[in-house]
Amino acid sequence: MMSVCDIYKKNSKRRGRSKYLLSVDVNVVKDNNVVPAKIVFVRNRNKRSDYLCILSTDTAITEEEIIRIYGKRWSIEVFFKVCKSYLCLTKECRSISFDAMTAHTSVVFTRATPHKARLTTLYVINLYLFRHLAQKFFAIRQYA
């Protein structure tokens, strides 16, 4: 049994501006069953000397595909964290009914929609639209 750190130290890394540092096929033991897996080591953007490990049990897909899928999954995780933390989704509704939770989530998202930045953007869009329509109106009046 080797740790992830030992696997990283033992193998040679890819040079240059590659999307990943290292990819290693391993066998993972879970409940006394051996499962083939692939570990992809990616450079940590926040700390260049460090790395992140992504483990995939689908060994048929490429390293780039593993990184892409993980990136999408991470965006979803961040979205749920924001919903739980800032929109108080977990604190306000104590129902176990799916319909009640769906209704509550809809109300929370509706309540959060009139955000100041969104209102400012809508104001600017409406202002440009009004100016455009006013220019068209005055252009039509000049020819009439």
pTM over 0.75: no
Number of domains within the chain? 3
Q: Which domain holds residue 38?
A: 1-60
Q: How far is CA 124 from CA 4, 18, 24, 118, 127, in A?
A: 52, 42, 51, 10, 5
β-partners of residue 39 are 24, 55
pLDDT one-digit tens code per residue, 121-142: 656 666 666 676 677 666 666 5
Judged against a pLDDT cut of 80, whether residue 8 lies above it is answered with: no
Same domain, 83 and 99: yes
Cα(51)–Cα(135) distance, rounded to whole angstroms? 56
Are both 69 and 55 inside the same structural domain? no
Question: How many Å apart are CA 111 and CA 87, to the nearest integer?
Answer: 9
Neighbours of 67 (CB within 10 A): 16
Please compute the mean of the pLDDT values over residues 41-63 and round it to a whole number: 86
Q: How confident is the model at residue 60 (pLDDT cuts 50, 70, 90)?
A: very high
Residue 104 has what pLDDT? 80
Q: Are residues 38 and 75 in the same domain?
A: no
**pLDDT tens digits, residue range 64-93?**
899 888 888 888 888 778 777 777 777 777
